[in-house]
Amino acid sequence: MKKGLHVGILFLLIFGLFNVAPMSKAFALSYDGSNPVSTGCANDAVTKSYSYISDSHDNVYGKVELKWSAKCKTSWGKITLYHAAPYDNGAYYANAVVYSYTSSGTYRTRYTCGSSGGNGAIMKGQTSCYTAQVYNGAGYIAKAKGYINWDIASGTTGWY
């Protein structure tokens, strides 16, 4: 009887843990591409890394941040310019992108401010935007890049 009880407990522990973990991971991955503000993930956001957005002449235009929510286990990019965008090129003046990789280095996905879930790229007169979010819990890492028209100025955060 004791041996059967130990085997039963062992069975529950092993298979119970495997059943719970994938379900919670799938739920967390459901945040991919969603808006950090409307999901409430931005409520506990902290900046995990940032970089200044500068050009080859060391002119600094603003900064890009990698934001992270402990509650949602997600990250997203946010760009803030020091001055309102003086123009746009018909598409945008500035944008941010968040990249998601597995911790072993395999590319997963990326989102920009213009992606569904972001609040739109920076246009004339605006100063900031944020991207859709990516899952950034155990086994995943993320970084963000902010840029002005791709080739004028850029900055890239560290990985978190």
DSSP symbols for 31-55:
TTT--TTTTSGGGG-EEEEEEEEE-
Give residue 148's pLDDT band: very low, low, confident or very high (50, 70, 90). Answer: very high
Query: Which residues, at least 6 apart from 83, have a Cβ–Cβ distance to it below 8 Å?
Result: 61, 127
pLDDT of residue 16: 40
pLDDT of residue 89: 84
The model's pLDDT over 52-80, given as tens digits with 9 standing for 90+, comes to 999 999 999 999 999 999 999 999 999 99
Is beta strand 153-156 parallel, antiparallel or unpaired with respect to 140-148? antiparallel
pLDDT of residue 117 exceeding 60, the answer is yes
Phi and psi dihedrals of 23, rounded to 5?
Answer: -70, -40
Q: For 137-159, what is the mean pLDDT?
A: 95
Name the more confident of 16 and 91: 91
Measured between alpha carbons, how far is 120 from 92 in angstroms, rounded to an integer? 9
